[in-house]
Amino acid sequence: MTLTLGTATRDRLRIAIQKSGRLAEPARKLLAACGLSWRESRDKLFCYGETLPVDLLLVRDDDIPGLIADGVCDLGVVGRNELEEQAGTRLRNGLAPAYRELRGLGFGQCRLMLAVPEDWDWTGPGQIKDKGLRIATSYPAILGQWLAREGIDAQVVELSGSVEIAPRLGTAELICDLVSSGATLVANQLKPVENLLDSEAVLAGPAGSFDDARAGLAQMLLRRVDGVLQLKDRKLLMFNAAREALPALEQLLQDAGPLVVVPDQGRPGGNGTLALQTMCEGTVSWQQLEDLERAGARGLMVLTVERSLA
Ligand code: ATP
Ligand code: ZN
């Protein structure tokens, strides 16, 4: 089933991103890499798209799912944790999610974890069953779903911030909070024991589809986002080698993409040497280049790929 959003047709796409915080800068960078540029308004809440009819709304991350659900914004860059939490709350209130995750964006990674005082010997969720313990969190919906799944009867203490100090303040025995490096937990004599959600920044959009110019714009943007995500850490490796050296070189390049022979189109001085290229994930180290050279590769070059359309 495809839903039609709102009644007003729009010919510009509006994307909500975090105004300031962990996701603000990487979200802008990603969209800029997709070829968008903006003119900022004086209040710095709205950025008018210059290169394409794609505008930005700069907001608190908590507001992004609601803005999409209400059709105020068409797309948003937000943590999966926020999206899932608000979907859980909507579900509890008998509302459909109204938005969906379109792409994982590979930044803002963190995990929503249950953490206990570091001196506890954790044996598993069964340990807190029927103990009537209190768990402090800013994610009551996700935690509630997990507790229900595990059949644990605990009291959820909802806090909007500084969740990690709740055990020291005596307001809860455990916490459920976002963890990236884990340093905050250590500083508060806590340790993570159960992972409730693997999170990262995601591109979110409405559950339905657009029926105006936004459809084409969203499709183009998604294609560009895919292009940018794919390129991340990709390098084009180019070199020359004699045909006899190919098996040894292929052996060394097992983890790379297929080794492609570039047609020499009758270039002079070819004398049996092949021009070769392959796509590599991640960095290509000096050591790898030297190993390839020993195996017969010459004129090795590592190039950064700037743009590609799959
Ligand atoms: P806002 O003012 O927009 O409400 P905030 O304080 O809620 O900001 P940030 O702390 O900037 O938000 O975090 C935004 C998102 O970054 C989180 O929702 C989460 O997806 C991600 N994130 C990554 N690592 C962490 C972490 N260690 N702690 C909290 N959030 C993290
Ligand atoms: Zn927030």
Atom 21 of ligand 1 has which residue's CA nearest to it? Answer: 108
Residue 270 has pLDDT above 60, yes or no: no
Q: How confident is the model at residue 178 (pLDDT cuts 50, 70, 90)?
A: very high
Mean model confidence pLDDT for the chain: 92
pLDDT given for residue 10 in this prediction: 83
Q: What is the pLDDT of residues 55-104, one digit of tens each?
A: 999 999 999 999 999 999 999 999 999 999 999 999 999 998 899 999 99
Closest ligand 1 atom, CA of 181? 27
Ligand nearest to the CA of 24: 1
Atom 28 of ligand 1 has which residue's CA nearest to it? Answer: 178
Using alpha carbons, list the distances in angstroms from residue 272 to 17, 265, 269, 299. 54, 13, 9, 15
Q: Say whether 175 sits in a helix, a strand or coil.
A: strand
Atom 1 of ligand 1 has which residue's CA nearest to it? Answer: 60
Atom 3 of ligand 1 has which residue's CA nearest to it? Answer: 60
Q: What is the pLDDT of residues 202-245, one digit of tens each?
A: 999 999 999 999 999 999 999 999 999 988 778 999 999 999 99
| Highest mean pLDDT pick, 39-43, 291-295, 303-307 | 291-295
**Ligand 2 mean position to 150 CA, how many Å?**
28
What structural domains and CATH numbers belong to the chain?
A: 13-107+201-231 (3.40.190.10), 110-199 (3.40.190.10), 234-304 (3.30.70.120)
pLDDT given for residue 2 in this prediction: 41
pTM for this prediction: 0.84
Q: How far apart are CA 223 and CA 175, in angstroms?
A: 39
pLDDT given for residue 1 in this prediction: 38
Ligand nearest to the CA of 20: 1
